[in-house]
Structure 1
Amino acid sequence: MEVSKKIIVVGHFGVGKTSLIKQFVYEKFSDQYLTTIGVKIDKKLVEIEGAKLNLILWDIAGEQSVSKIPKNYFMGAHGMIYVFDLTREETYQNIEDEIFSIAKENSQMESVVLGNKSDLVSREFIEEVQSEIPIKFKITSAMTGENVEEAFISLAKSIL
């Protein structure tokens, strides 16, 4: 039996949301930047602990603030991936407020936070960012594929 689960992928523009989804779904990376307008939907069927999950991935256009995302995008979501760019501090300065704001829209969602573009910074810098941000997050690189599959699968397990 196959079960569908809606996952929204949110974050500021240019943080790599679309690239992470492409890496997870198609195992591909492109360095061409294409702006997502509105929402783009992809699917991937995964098997976890004998259960078949059809992950419906909503790639939501990046905004300066999640408060600008249409509220109906959050409806019915089982999970959320919040992405920020390790190379751009402005994408994680207000991360606690942003995640709290999203949780108010749908408190039933499981979530994972990803610090993307690890291939562009040093491990020392990543450790510095981890000490600054009070929220636990996973390090990813859409370009190299580092931790991408693991991040999506870990969220899928939590919403199973």
Structure 2
Amino acid sequence: MIQRKVCLIGDFAVGKTSLFHRFVYNRFSEGYLSTIGVMIQRKVVQVESRTVSLVLWDMQGNQDSTHIKEHYVRGASGAIIVCDLTRLITILHCEGYMNVLRQINQDMCLMIAANKLDLTRPDHEHLTLVQQIATQMKLPITLTSARNAEGVEDLFSQMGAALLSKVKT
């Protein structure tokens, strides 16, 4: 089994901690409590016949990508850039996060979690925009809802698969 550090990164109140709690503990809380610093937890993911231990770093929210604490990200093999589908600015910040993360480690597996899907309509313009941005940045995207668990297992399974694909056999 391999072990890899994965950071959850994004603006304040996009649902990083909610995704973290839904995946690790299968819990969701309606209350908002800002993360101070970082929370770390380990969870094993099965990808086909292989396993990967994800060491998840739930990092405090930022105002934008210029506020990433590099020492938290150092050593990460992957990062999930989380945006809030109900707040356009958080979607627009995705590219900035990607650029900063690529400067820290250009080989890092990156993906976008477009969260709060339960609060949007299927024809919502933000859905189209975030998918266009992900395509432009050449990053995989998963639509998620930490509240109802939609896409959450998928998100972390995809990250596990991406990390395993980089392992030399």
Q: Is the 8 A contact 2:38 2:60 kept in 1?
A: yes
**TM-score with structure 2 setting the length:** 0.88
Separation (CA, whole Å) in 1 of partners of 2:93 and 2:148: 27
Q: After superposition, what is the alpha-carbon deviation per residue over 1:45-101, rounded to whole angstroms, capped at 9, x for unaligned?
A: 122232221110000100111221211112111111000001111211232222112
Partner of 2:167: none
The alignment yields a C-alpha RMSD, in angstroms, of 1.3
Gaps of 5+ in 1: none
Letter in 2 for 1:139: L
Q: After superposition, what is the alpha-carbon deviation per residue over 1:95-123, rounded to whole angstroms, capped at 9, x for unaligned?
A: 22221122111111111101100111101
Gaps of 5+ in 2: 136-140, 165-169
Separation (CA, whole Å) in 2 of partners of 1:66 and 1:139: 21
Structure-to-structure mapping, 1:41-120, within 5 angstroms: 41-120=40-119
List structure 1 segments (4+ residues) > 6 angstroms apart after TM superposition.
none
**TM-score with structure 1 setting the length:** 0.92
Partner of 2:138: none
Q: Is the 8 A contact 2:5 2:75 kept in 1?
A: yes
Separation (CA, whole Å) in 2 of partners of 1:64 and 1:3: 33
Q: Is the 8 A contact 1:74 1:106 kept in 2?
A: no
37-46 or 66-75, which deviates more: 66-75
Q: Percent of pairs identical after alignment? A: 37
Partner of 1:29: 28
The structure-2 alpha-carbon separation of the partners of 1:48 and 1:132, relative to structure 1 and needing over 3 Å to count, comes to: closer
Separation (CA, whole Å) in 1 of partners of 2:126 and 2:134: 11
Separation (CA, whole Å) in 1 of partners of 2:127 and 2:148: 20
Aligned residues, how many?
Answer: 157
Letter in 1 for 2:30: D
Separation (CA, whole Å) in 1 of partners of 2:51 and 2:97: 31
Secondary structure of 1:135's partner?
A: helix
Separation (CA, whole Å) in 2 of partners of 1:104 and 1:40: 23
Partner of 1:129: 126
Answer yes or no: is 1:153 the counterpart of 2:157. yes
